[in-house]
Structure formats: structure tokens, C-alpha cells
């Protein structure tokens, strides 16, 4: 949701900013902009609707001209994607430039006030209001210096923001601030980097400060990093962290798209999620986050899982897992609904938040609400040190590695892996999962990375061929039962978000309560029908579809005959216990969505209107 890059040091700021924006383009990609301080301390701005490549076309002349600057890649909130609405935005006196990620909710009131004072606005953005508010405070009192004016302005706004600001009269200085949107400061040798995540600077330094909520920093080569609280200007001691991220992890590694790379990484990512946790030989699952708070889980009235999108689908499967194996009641809620419906939460509830990015605004707000009401908060995040990871009482990282493709794939299967470990761990502890079953289940779980590897090898080409037949299709149905009902929802979401084909997921039995009306010879139906998991019932559903001439794409176990005989296309996956089948079945569904989208010429890694990290509600 918008990417910010900033730099001051001895290297060419243009290169650092542009390359950094390319790495952050997954966060937003409808427009891009850059501002550099030139040799006369003047601010040079270039910005445009479109991608970073479009920005490069108009800004190459700035290459080699400056050692300090900042840039932005946008995901529109206020105002359509256009040159005018692109960041950086300049103040009326053209002296202050600002890039912003987030939403200033009271921008309208401030805009009215500024308009009355004579300010004018070129864009429809909330950001232009903020940059002019900074100018306003400086104009008001000539004693007010630049960082102070930024602080005054931030104290007037509410909403969510990560900002970086430059001022022509304060050369060599970058001022940053954050509330609700992430911002990291990379500390190099005689250079500083600013970015929405560490990927733009990981090749230059392994040391970073993650700016905390409600903090701002003034950064210059002369005075280093001065961190203050926004509300009362108290000085904060910087906490420098060592980055675990490597450059290799954030590059495509020979794949055409990040999404394909990430689909193929799943044997490794699922293995990494279990590493050090699943100790099959010792017959234990080690999860400090759960173990240290086992009484909370044991005595919980219920577990509430909150999440959005794909993570919400993982949560639904988590419900099946935890209720089956640990027999603890689970409710799964969309974070956006939970936070606004005055939910009943007590200190006997355990709330699990699932979020790949760890920055999703709705999930974060729902968590804060649950925390205020006394619930114990557990996080399942992929991004280390993300905002959600930091406000939870305890949690487990998924360790899937950076997920750059906007459509979530390996993070989803890693979330399922963590939820499986939690369910087995709790079930074993509270006696609902007997030792023999536990041992056999963990041995099977341990082999899941190999199962995924087999599925990738055996289905990749087949699915590629199947995809060719559906390039012009306009609708899809995805059906599954039990554990594979959420897998069907996820399959449908993958297809719609990257191919723009309308797709619906349903529990297979619900089909006859409405969606069956849609079925004719033009409707493809993806049906997940593994042997273990209401197979006989699924057979009846397939017959109902067949009778209405629907085109059946069946995901079945190897050696299946009954469903396969009725299906138009058959994708075979290895047989597993039912609880593992969503992990294995999701892989060919990810491939199906991917190849259909590629054949339709869609931008798979950066689908229209989407962003990787949804930091606005
Ligand atoms: C879909 C997708 C989104 C996210 C959702 C929540 O492929 O990626 O639906 O799952 O925006 O994001 P996180 O998990 O970062 O909270």
C-alpha cells in the first residue's frame, strides 16, 4: 500500500531510489515519483502515472545529480491515479516535498482551514494537505524549524501514515514519521536508507531501525538519526536490529514471475515453517509461543481467529484443525467485521491474528480492540518485526521467506502448517489427541514438503495445458467439502485476483441452494475431491453437475476412478489424511490461476487495483 524510499549518503541517490522503488512496487504501482536535492539545494521533482519504468523514462536526466532524495510508488486512496495525484507532493512555496503511505482521515477539515488561509491545491490527495500544513506551521512562526513543523503537523492529523519529508532550506535532512504504516531506517557506513520495508537496502546494510508507532526521526549525515515521540518530542534511544533478509530471497531466481517462484518454493517454505518445531524422532512439537502460554490456551473459552483475504481462508482451515484435534471451540472472523460490530470478548478468549504482511490495518485494529478487552493475543505473521507481530502477546512466525507476488501462495501454505502444528500441539497437551494418532500425524506432516514437491512435478505441465482451455472463460465455480471448502474459496480468490475472471467458492453441498442455477455447458467447476473427506457426498455433487453439463475439473487422489470417470479434466494429488489435503490441493489450484492469468496477458505479480500490504482500512 504505497512504497517509500529515501536515501542520504555517498552513492547516487537516483539509482538507490529507483532501484528501491522497483523492489517496493509490489506495494502499489499506479504511479511513481522521485525528488532529489540538486547541487544548489533545490528540489527536483519528477512524477507520473504508471509504473517505475514510466518514471525512469521521464527522470533519467536526474541520474548522477544528487546524493540525497526520496521516491514513492503509489496505490491510490484519495484521487485517481494521475500525474497530479502522484507523490512527491510539494508545498505551496515549493520548498517542502513529502511522500506518504496511508490515509489522513481529517484531511478535509485541514484542507478547509488551509484554503481559508490562502493555500491552494493541485491534487485531490490528503498528502498535499499534510505538506501544506507543515508549511503553514513554518510560516506561522519563523522560529519553527523544519522537524518541529513536521511534528506540529503530525499532531494535527489522524489516520495512518508513514511519511518522508525534505525541505529546500534544510539541505541534507530527511524527516520521517510513522503511525500505522511501516517504515524502516537502514544504517550504513556514512549513509542512511529509508524504506517501507528493508528490501530496498538489504544489499547495502544489515542494520536497521524499525520506527515505532507514533515516532518520528530526523536523519542527516551530520547528526545521524534523532528519534523523537511525535506527541511530546521525547528523545528515544534507537534500537538497531540485524536484518535476516538476503538479496537472493527477494529476487526472481530465473522464474518469469515472483508468483511462480513462490509456488515452487513451497516444499522449502513449508519445511522451513516446521524447522526446529516439528521434531518427529523425539515425538514433540516445540512452539515456545504456545508452550509459554499453554494455560491460556487450555483454559480458553474459545479461540477467535481474525484475518482478511487469504489469511482468513487459512483461519477457516485452522478452525477445522483446532476443533477436530484440540476440541477447543473456534470462531473465524473477518477483521473488518469484527472490529466494528462490538464483539463480546473476555479475558478467557484467545485471539489469533493471521497476517502474512503483519501490517493489515483491519487486522491490526481488530487485535487492538481484542487486547483492550483483555483477550490474550497470538500472532501468525510472515514478516518478522511487522506491526502485528510486535503488538501480540506471543506468536509464531511462518518463516516462508519474503512473498513478493501480490497473490499469496507460499504464505498461505505456511499459515496452514503453523495452524496444523498448533492444533496438534494443543490436542496432544489437552489429551484430545492420543499419542499413537499424534505420532502418525506428525510423521505425515513431516512428509508434506515431499508431497508438495511431487504435486509440482506431476501437475505443472498438465495444469498449464488445462489452463489454455479457459483463457476466455468468464465465470468459474470452486467446490469442496470439509477442510477443502476453504481451499475452494482460496482457489477462487487466486483466480479472480490475478486473471480477473469472476470465480466463486462454495461448500459443495451448498451448490443446490442457489449456485446450481448457474451451471450449464459453459460453466467450469473446479471440485476438490480427495478420498478422505466426504468422498461419497462429493460423488453425488459431481453427478449433479454432470447432469447439468457443467465442465468438471476434478482434483482427486492418485488412482481415483469414480469422480475421474465423470470429470472433463483430472488433476491427481497424493492421498493424505484429510487435514493435510488443503495444503496439497492448493498447489495445482495456484498453478491453474497462474497459468490462466499468464495466458490472458495479465500482470500476475502486480494485479490491477491490488496491493500486497493493505495498510488502510
Ligand atoms: C490474496 C491476498 C490477500 C491477503 C489479505 C490479507 O492473495 O494476498 O487477500 O491475504 O490482504 O493480508 P495479510 O495476510 O498480509 O494480512
pLDDT value at position 427?
97
**How many whole angstroms separate alpha carbon 208 and alpha carbon 198?**
8
Specify the ligand 1 atom closest to the Cα of 406. 8
Q: From ligand 1's centre to the CA of 611, what distance in Å?
A: 9
Same fold, 252-446 and 455-604: yes
pLDDT value at position 255?
92
pLDDT value at position 1?
72
Q: What are phi and psi of 550, to 5 degrees?
A: -65, 150
Closest residue by CA, ligand 1 atom 5: 309
pLDDT value at position 403?
93
How many other CB atoms sit within 10 Å of the CB of residue 331? 15
Ligand 1 pocket check: which of 307, 317, 356 to mutate, most ligand atoms within 8 Å of Cβ? 356
Residue 318 DSSP SS3: helix
Active site residues per annotation: 2, 612
- CB neighbour class for 601 (10 Å; exposed up to 12, middle 13-18, buried from 19): exposed
Determine whether the shortest distance from the Cβ of 590 to ligand 1 is under 6 A. Answer: no
Top CATH class, 252-446:
alpha beta
pLDDT value at position 268?
95
Asked whether the bond before 88 is cis by omega within 30 degrees of 0, the reply is: yes
Determine whether the shortest distance from the Cβ of 586 to ligand 1 is under 6 A. Answer: no
Q: 338: which 3 cell numbers?
A: 469484527
Q: 290: which 3 cell numbers?
A: 504456545
> Which residues of the chain register pLDDT less than 50?
none
pLDDT value at position 548?
92
Say how many residues make up the chain.
Answer: 617
Q: Are 305 and 403 in contact (CB under 8 A)?
A: no
Sequence ranges of the domains in the chain: 3-250, 252-446, 455-604
pLDDT value at position 608?
87
pLDDT value at position 133?
98
Ligand 1 pocket check: which of 258, 262, 311 to mutate, most ligand atoms within 8 Å of Cβ? 311
pLDDT value at position 246?
80
Note the CATH architecture for domain 455-604: 3-Layer(aba) Sandwich (3.40)
Determine whether the shortest distance from the Cβ of 489 to ligand 1 is under 6 A. Answer: no
Specify the ligand 1 atom closest to the Cα of 411. 14
Specify the ligand 1 atom closest to the Cα of 388. 16
Q: From ligand 1's centre to the CA of 178, what distance in Å?
A: 22
pLDDT value at position 611?
77
pLDDT value at position 181?
87
Determine whether the shortest distance from the Cβ of 382 to ligand 1 is under 6 A. Answer: no
Topology annotation, domain 3-250 = 3.60.20
Q: Taken in order 259, 260, 266, 269, is the CA torsion positive or negative?
A: negative
**How many whole angstroms separate alpha carbon 296 and alpha carbon 351?**
11
Closest residue by CA, ligand 1 atom 4: 309
Amino acid at each position: 500500500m504505497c512504497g517509500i524510499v529515501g536515501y542520504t549518503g555517498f552513492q547516487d541517490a537516483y539509482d538507490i531510489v529507483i532501484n528501491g522503488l522497483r523492489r517496493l512496487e509490489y506495494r502499489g504501482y499506479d504511479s511513481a515519483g522521485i525528488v532529489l536535492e540538486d547541487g544548489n539545494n533545490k528540489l527536483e521533482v519528477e512524477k507520473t502515472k504508471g509504473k517505475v519504468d514510466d518514471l525512469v523514462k521521464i527522470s533519467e536526466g536526474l541520474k548522477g545529480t544528487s546524493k540525497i532524495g526520496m521516491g514513492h510508488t503509489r496505490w491510490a486512496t484519495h484521487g485517481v491515479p494521475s500525474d497530479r495525484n502522484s507523490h512527491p507532493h510539494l508545498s505551496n512555496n515549493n520548498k517542502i516535498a513529502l511522500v506518504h503511505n496511508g490515509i489522513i482521515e481529517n484531511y478535509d477539515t485541514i484542507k478547509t482551514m488551509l484554503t481559508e488561509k490562502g493555500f491552494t491545491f493541485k491534487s485531490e490527495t490528503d498528502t498535499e494537505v499534510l505538506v501544506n500544513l507543515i508549511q503553514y506551521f513554518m510560516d506561522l512562526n519563523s522560529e519553527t524549524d523544519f522537524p518541529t513543523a513536521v511534528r506540529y503537523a503530525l499532531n494535527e492529523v489522524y489516520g495512518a501514515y508513514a511519511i518522508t519529508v525534505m525541505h529546500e532550506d534544510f539541505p541534507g535532512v530527511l524527516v520521517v514519521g510513522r503511525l500505522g504504516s511501516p517504515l524502516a531506517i537502514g544504517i550504513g557506513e556514512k549513509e542512511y536508507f529509508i524504506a517501507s520495508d528493508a528490501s530496498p537496502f538489504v544489499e547495502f546494510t544489515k542494520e536497521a531501525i524499525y520506527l515505532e508507532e507514533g515516532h518520528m526521526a530526523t536523519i542527516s549525515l551530520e547528526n545521524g538519526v534523532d528519534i523523537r515521540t511525535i506527541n511530546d518530542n521525547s528523545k528515544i534511544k534507537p534500537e538497531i536490529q540485524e536484518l535476516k533478509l538476503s538479496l537472493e530471497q527477494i529476487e526472481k531466481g530465473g522464474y518469469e514471475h515472483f508468483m511462480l517462484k513462490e509456488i515452487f518454493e513451497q516444499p522449502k517454505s513449508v519445511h522451513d515453517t516446521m524447522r526446529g518445531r516439528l521434531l518427529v524422532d523425539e515425538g514433540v512439537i516445540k512452539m515456545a509461543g504456545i508452550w509459554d502460554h499453554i494455560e491460556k490456551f487450555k483454559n480458553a473459552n474459545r479461540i477467535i481467529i481474525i484475518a482478511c483475504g487469504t489469511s482468513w481462508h487459512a483461519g477457516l482451515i485452522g478452525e477445522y484443525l483446532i476443533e477436530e484435534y484440540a476440541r477447543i471451540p473456534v470462531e473465524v472472523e473477518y477483521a473488518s467485521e469484527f472490529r466494528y460490530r462490538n464483539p463480546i470478548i473476555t479475558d478467557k478468549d484467545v485471539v489469533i491474528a493471521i497476517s502474512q504482511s503483519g501490517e493489515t490495518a483491519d487486522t491490526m485494529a481488530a487485535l487492538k480492540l481484542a487486547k483492550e478487552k483483555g483477550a490474550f493475543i497470538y500472532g501468525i505473521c510472515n514478516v518478522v518485526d511487522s506491526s502485528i507481530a510486535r503488538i501480540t502477546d506471543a506468536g509464531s512466525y511462518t518463516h516462508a521467506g519474503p512473498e513478493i507476488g501480490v497473490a499469496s501462495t507460499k504464505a498461505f501454505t505456511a499459515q496452514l502448517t503453523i495452524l496444523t502444528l498448533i492444533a496438534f500441539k494443543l490436542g496432544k497437551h489437552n489429551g484430545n489427541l492420543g499419542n499413537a494418532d499424534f505420532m502418525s500425524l506428525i510423521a505425515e506432516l513431516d512428509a508434506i514438503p515431499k508431497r508438495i514437491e511431487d504435486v509440482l512435478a506431476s501437475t505443472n505441465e498438465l495444469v498449464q495445458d488445462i489452463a489454455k482451455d479457459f483463457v476466455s472463460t468468464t465465470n468459474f465455480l470452486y467446490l469442496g467439502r470439509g477442510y477443502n471448502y476453504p481451499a475452494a474459496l482460496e482457489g477462487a480468490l487466486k483466480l479472480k485476483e490475478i486473471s480477473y475472471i469472476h470465480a466463486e467458492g462454495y461448500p459443495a453441498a451448498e451448490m443446490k441452494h442457489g449456485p446450481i442455477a448457474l451451471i450449464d455447458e459453459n460453466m467450469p467447476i473446479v471440485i476438490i475431491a480427495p478420498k478422505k473427506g466426504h468422498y461419497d457426498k462429493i460423488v453425488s455433487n459431481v453427478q449433479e453437475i454432470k447432469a447439468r453439463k457443467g465442465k468438471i475439473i476434478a482434483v482427486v487422489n492418485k488412482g481415483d476412478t469414480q469422480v475421474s470417470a465423470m470429470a472433463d479434466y483430472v488433476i491427481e494429488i497424493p492421498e493424505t489424511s484429510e487435514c493435510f489435503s488443503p495444503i496439497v490441493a492448493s498447489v495445482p489450484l495456484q498453478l491453474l490461476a497462474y497459468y490462466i492469468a499468464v495466458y490472458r496477458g495479465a500482470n500476475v505479480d502486480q494485479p490491477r487495483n491490488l496491493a500486497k500490504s493493505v495498510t488502510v482500512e
